[in-house]
A and B are shown apart, each in its own frame.
Chain A
Amino acid sequence: MKTRQLLLTALAAGLIGASFGAAAYDADWKRGRIYYRSVCTACHAAQTGGSIAPSTMTMAQWESYLKADKHAAGKDSLKKYVGKDYRASIRSQNKAADKFADVPDAELLEDVKAFVIKGAKDGDAPASCS
């Protein structure tokens, strides 16, 4: 009985892994570019006195920054600004937030990540902020 339970548990765990593998999201760097420039850059330029080009940091620095999930020197979460709630709050003034209003949070975050990694100082195509 115990062996059977263990086997079933192992099967379930394997399928969990398989499900994540099968549904592994293929990030869309172009969508990330639009969101980054239309939302991140637009807000930074207007409210915090300057935009941040992807090429100002290396891929490792971007990975670390995104993983830390700290925005405004740790005052709030970075994920918040790609989340559906935030998009909903600005969609009337921001076309990118409106266009991508229904994109799952995790996907859009991956999109933005793909863009900044690609556009990093040592990325495939270093990118400016505009």
Chain B
Amino acid sequence: MTTNRSIRRVPPWRGLVLAVALAGAALAGSGALAAGKASTADHGKFKELQQSFASGPEVTKACLICHTEAAKQVHSTKHWSWEFLNPATDQKLGKKNVINNFCISVPSNYPFCTSCHVGYGWKDANFDFTAEENVDCLVCHDTTGSYRKLPGLAGHPPYQDTEIPPGSGKFAKAVDLTKVAQKVGRTSRDTCGACHFFGGGGDGVKHGDMDSSLAAPDRELDVHMDATGLDFTCGTCHRTSSHDVPGSRYTPVARDTEGAHIPGRQDDSLPATCPACHGQAPHKGGGHAAKLNDHTDVVACQTCHIPQIARGGVATKMSWDWSTAGQMGPDGKPMLKKDEAGRVIYDSKKGDFVLGENVVPEYRWFNGEVTYTLLGDKVDKSEGVTRINRLGGSAEDGKSLIWPMKVFVGVQPYDPVNRTLVTPHTAGNDDTAYWKNFGWEKAIKTGMQVSGSAFSGQVDFVRTEMSWPITHMVAPKENAVRCGECHMKGGRLENIGGVYIPGRDANPLIDLFGWLMAGGALLGALVHGGLRIVRRNG
């Protein structure tokens, strides 16, 4: 009864008003949501993406209907070719060609290594680099965080639930390609980091200044990427044009002599350098700031502003000894050994590791020139250390600055007869893969065949070293390296030659002699002046 009375009291027009009001609210609500998004397109509304996709290349074909030039642009980048001809040295570099002292080399291990290629299907040397549908748009433009490419699938994501590693009982879920395709957006720390945080086969392994802690870092870890502050993405500094990302490790800009880049000014360069934003006199004010600015002609910004690497709670590998690989556990099966923090320090497949957190970098003169020891280059074990990459630079060349480096030490297989580094076939389920049969001879024979290089059949191990210029994990200025950490004996720059560093290079005897000379000169002037005054008065 009460309800009926209530209904009777409501005039019919009030229902209409309510309906109109709600319609307005609905439209306003959707408009507000749309305005809140940075993108001007909702890819979920595109008919081309409103379908189920059976594979990554199918998604790419749909993307290319609108983004007609995107694949061609990607095809011209190092992200695609994994190849780079260094014009200064004529060395053919790129992931496809270089040897490192982490996982060593790509050839013969394609299906595993290419899980970080921006393409689909690079499983051997016959990969079609001209096919536009082979470009993987999603790996860089996923915003859902659910897109992942698994080792062994040659750059494909899992299209069905996949056990990884095989026999582990752990399954990676199939990627919902439609959902990912409809949610594409700008690149992010997560998309770049999906590969670059995990270089060398694990979180933080390779670089030391890049690991998963940078996905959502605080200010102390990186003052620019601080997720609650400036919130830079990788692309903020690596300002990409036509899918080409500046900031190559093969030809780094060690010394950017240009001024800050100013919006609106004609400027086609895209350096990923500190001066590109901060200019050549980054410290504002006089006095101490001016003295700091005096350092910029000798010291890279990174030297003071990245006091340690691996500061985000993720350890980086500092050394990797392949010569101890192959030891089995008591049960005769491959084993892992872990440190007290639960981190793997021995793996039968890979050998011994030394890990480090909050690592103080080493420092070297660096002018941007990098020369690699490539397959076929002669290696002399008697020299003690083979340098995987040699960095150019000196105090005298006018192009160098003192840079922080992660210096990574390896012990890796080489051919003692041909005296060359080798490219072992490590990953795979075939009988020659080292991680399957633990036999170096078979693994190297297969790998060298794929590389097209001679192998004597004998294996020895050589100590190697690789230097990685440090440029990420920039600390807040209050945490920068203090003056006294370099201007002292035994300080950070103890081994830097060719430059006089006050505090480090002082000689007590010379200092005493200098003070005596200065004091004597002052005393002489006072005596002389005093005598002149006395004699004039007289």
Q: Do A and B bind each other?
A: yes
Are B10 and A5 in touch, CB under 8 angstroms?
A: yes
Are A22 and B30 in touch, CB under 8 angstroms?
A: yes
A19 close to chain B: CB less than 8 A? yes
Are B12 and A8 in touch, CB under 8 angstroms?
A: yes
Instruction: Report if A95-B12 is in contact (Cβ < 8 Å); known contacts: A23-B33, A33-B216, A130-B313.
Output: no
Contacts of B146 in A (CB 8 A): 118, 124-125
The CA of A81 and the CA of B10, in the complex, are separated in Å by 41
The CA of A19 and the CA of B19, in the complex, are separated in Å by 11
Are B30 and A8 in touch, CB under 8 angstroms?
A: no
Neighbour of A96 across the interface among B15, B23, B26, B228, CB < 8 A: B228
Instruction: Report if A5-B144 is in contact (Cβ < 8 Å); known contacts: A15-B26, A130-B313.
Output: no
Neighbour of A38 across the interface among B15, B228, B313, CB < 8 A: B228
Contacts of B145 in A (CB 8 A): 29-30, 118, 124-125
Are B23 and A5 in touch, CB under 8 angstroms?
A: no
B22 close to chain A: CB less than 8 A? yes
The CA of A15 and the CA of B29, in the complex, are separated in Å by 12
Are B23 and A30 in touch, CB under 8 angstroms?
A: no
Neighbour of B12 across the interface among A4, A26, A124, A125, CB < 8 A: A4
Are B229 and A95 in touch, CB under 8 angstroms?
A: yes
Contacts of A130 in B (CB 8 A): 213, 313
A61 close to chain B: CB less than 8 A? no
Contacts of B15 in A (CB 8 A): 5, 8-9, 11-12
Instruction: Report if A99-B25 is in contact (Cβ < 8 Å); known contacts: A8-B16, A118-B146.
Output: no
Please, how many residues of chain B have a CB less than 8 angstroms from a CB on the other chain? 31
A37 close to chain B: CB less than 8 A? yes
Q: Is the interface of A mostly helix, strand, loop or mixed?
A: helix
Contacts of A23 in B (CB 8 A): 25-26, 29-30, 32-33
B18 close to chain A: CB less than 8 A? yes
The CA of A29 and the CA of B227, in the complex, are separated in Å by 13
Q: Which of B33, B144, B145, B219 has the most CB of A within 10 A?
A: B145
Please, how many residues of chain A have a CB less than 8 angstroms from a CB on the other chain? 30
Are B228 and A5 in touch, CB under 8 angstroms?
A: no
The CA of A99 and the CA of B216, in the complex, are separated in Å by 14
Interface string of B3-47 (1 = CB under 8 A from A): 000010010100110110011011101101100000000000000
Are B19 and A12 in touch, CB under 8 angstroms?
A: yes
Neighbour of B228 across the interface among A12, A26, A34, CB < 8 A: A34
Q: Is the interface of B mostly helix, strand, loop or mixed?
A: helix
Q: Which of A1-18 contact B (CB under 8 A)?
A: 1, 4-5, 8-9, 11-12, 15-16, 18
A25 close to chain B: CB less than 8 A? yes
B136 close to chain A: CB less than 8 A? no
Interface string of B216-246 (1 = CB under 8 A from A): 1011000000011100000000000000000
B196 close to chain A: CB less than 8 A? no
Instruction: Report if A124-B173 is in contact (Cβ < 8 Å); known contacts: A11-B19, A22-B30, A23-B33.
Output: yes
Contacts of A4 in B (CB 8 A): 12
B190 close to chain A: CB less than 8 A? yes
B445 close to chain A: CB less than 8 A? no
Are A5 and B12 in touch, CB under 8 angstroms?
A: yes
**Least Cβ–Cβ distance between A94 and chain B, in angstroms:** 9
The CA of A103 and the CA of B227, in the complex, are separated in Å by 16
B148 close to chain A: CB less than 8 A? yes
Are B227 and A34 in touch, CB under 8 angstroms?
A: yes
Contacts of B228 in A (CB 8 A): 34, 38, 95-96, 98-99
Contacts of B27 in A (CB 8 A): 22
The CA of A16 and the CA of B24, in the complex, are separated in Å by 11
Closest 5 A-B residue pairs measured CB to CB? A23-B29, A8-B15, A19-B26, A124-B146, A95-B228
| B residues whose Cβ falls under 8 Å from a Cβ of A | 7, 10, 12, 15-16, 18-19, 22-23, 25-27, 29-30, 32-33, 144-146, 148, 173, 188, 190, 213, 216, 218-219, 227-229, 313
What would 19 more interface pairs be, CB under 8 Å, given A9-B15, A15-B23, A124-B173?
A4-B12, A5-B12, A8-B18, A11-B19, A12-B19, A15-B22, A18-B26, A19-B25, A22-B27, A29-B145, A30-B188, A30-B216, A38-B228, A95-B219, A118-B145, A124-B144, A124-B146, A130-B213, A130-B313
Can you name 15 A-B residue pairings with CB atoms under 8 Å? A1-B12, A4-B12, A5-B10, A8-B12, A8-B18, A11-B19, A12-B18, A12-B19, A15-B22, A18-B26, A21-B26, A34-B216, A34-B228, A96-B228, A124-B173
| A residues whose Cβ falls under 8 Å from a Cβ of B | 1, 4-5, 8-9, 11-12, 15-16, 18-19, 21-23, 25-26, 29-30, 33-34, 37-38, 95-96, 98-99, 118, 124-125, 130
